[in-house]
Amino acid sequence: MESLNEFIANIGGLVWGPYMLTFLVGTGVYLTLRLAFLQVRMLPFALKQAFSKHPNTDNHEGDISHFGALMTALSATIGTGNIAGVATAVVLGGAGAVFWMWVSAFFGMATKYAEGILAVKYRVTNSKGEMSGGPMYYLERGCNLKWLAILFALFGTIASFGIGSSVQSNSVAASLQTSLDIDTWKTGVVLTIFTGLVILGGIKGISRTASIIVPFMAIVYVAGGLIVMFYHADLVIPAIEKILSEAFTGSAALGGAVGLAIRYGVARGVFSNEAGMGSAPIAAAAAKTDHPARQAFVSMTATFLDTMVVCAITGITIVIGLLTIPEGTIAAGTTGASLTVQTFDYLLPGVGGSLVTFGLIFFAYSTILGWCYYGEKCASYVFGDKSVPVYRVIYVLTVLLGTLEFQGDAKSTTEIVWGLSDVFNGLMAIPNLIGLVLLSGVVVKETKDFLERRRKGELP
Q: What is the CATH number of domain 8-455?
A: 1.10.4160
Output the pLDDT for position 407: 43
Output the pLDDT for position 259: 66
For the chain, the straight-line distance linking the first and the last C-alpha, in angstroms and rounded, comes to 59
Q: pLDDT exceeding 70 applies to what percent of the chain?
A: 90
Cβ(254)–Cβ(94) below 8 Å: yes
Output the pLDDT for position 433: 95
- From the number of C-beta atoms within 10 Å of its C-beta (0-12, 13-18, 19+), residue 233 rates as exposed
Question: Span 322-329, mean pLDDT?
Answer: 84
pLDDT in tens, 157-170: 988 887 778 878 87
Which H helix or E strand runs over 185? helix 184-199
pLDDT in tens, 198-251: 877 766 777 777 778 888 888 888 888 899 999 999 999 999 999 988 888 765
Taking 3-state DSSP, the helix, strand and coil percentages for the chain, each rounded to the nearest 5, stand at: 80, 0, 20
Question: Span 321-333, mean pLDDT?
Answer: 81
pLDDT in tens, 363-415: 888 888 888 889 999 999 999 888 888 999 999 888 888 877 644 444 555 56
- From the number of C-beta atoms within 10 Å of its C-beta (0-12, 13-18, 19+), residue 227 rates as middle
DSSP letters for 193-238 = HHHHHHHTTHHHHHHHHHHHHHHHHHHHHHHHHHHHHHHTHHHHHH
- Of 31, 25, 50, 161, which is closest to residue 100 (Cα–Cα)? 25
The DSSP secondary-structure symbol of 54 reads: P
Whole-structure pTM value = 0.88
Output the pLDDT for position 57: 57
| Per-position b or e across 384-397, b if 16+ CB within 10 A of its CB | eeebbeebbebbbe
- From the number of C-beta atoms within 10 Å of its C-beta (0-12, 13-18, 19+), residue 252 rates as exposed
* Position 36 confidence tier, pLDDT thresholds 50, 70, 90: very high
